[in-house]
Amino acid sequence: VPYQGLVASDLSDAQRRLLLDVARAYTGWNADDHAAASTREIESHLDETWFSWYGGYGETDAFYYRVHSPVTLIEFDHHDGVVFDNTDPSRHHIHMLVRTPNGGDYGRDLLAEHHQRFDHTGGKHVARS
C-alpha cells in the first residue's frame, strides 16, 4: 500500500499529537502493556507516518482515513450497503483495520517460502541447491 497524504514530519506539534490520538484510539483496545508498546513503536516512527483523508467533513458525511507508517496501517472507511439498500457509502456501515505492514500479521507466506526452495523455470519443479 503506497504512502499518501500528509507526512507527520510536516505537521505542527499540535497536529502530531492529534495524529497520535487517532492511533491510540486503535491501539488502546489492547491490554495496557501491549497498548503502551504499540504506542511507543508508532511514536518512534512518527516522522515517517502519513495521514490521508477522503470524504466530507459534516456530521453526517461519509469518509475514509488512513494512518500509515513502517510499523502500523490503520484504516477507517464508511461503505456502501451490502445488507442495507444504499449504493453510496454511509455512516451505517463501516470497515476498519489495524495491521503491521509487511509484518507477517496474516501468517507465514508459504508460497514465497516454496518458491525460495524450488525453481519453476520452464514449468518445471526443481529443488534449489
What residues are paired with 63 via a beta bridge? Answer: 55
**Domains of the chain by residue range:** 6-127
Q: What are 84-113's pLDDT values in tens digits?
A: 676 777 667 788 999 988 776 667 777 888
- Between the CA of residue 112 and those of 19, 102, 106, what are the distances in Å? 35, 13, 14
pTM for the predicted model, two decimal places: 0.76
Tell which wins on pLDDT, 70 or 29.
70
pLDDT in tens, 55-87: 999 988 989 999 999 999 999 998 776 666 767
Q: What is the pLDDT of residue 104?
A: 67
Residue 105: phi and psi, rounded to 5, are -75, -10
Q: Which amino acid is at 39?
A: T
Q: In a 3-state reduction of DSSP, which class is residue 98?
A: strand
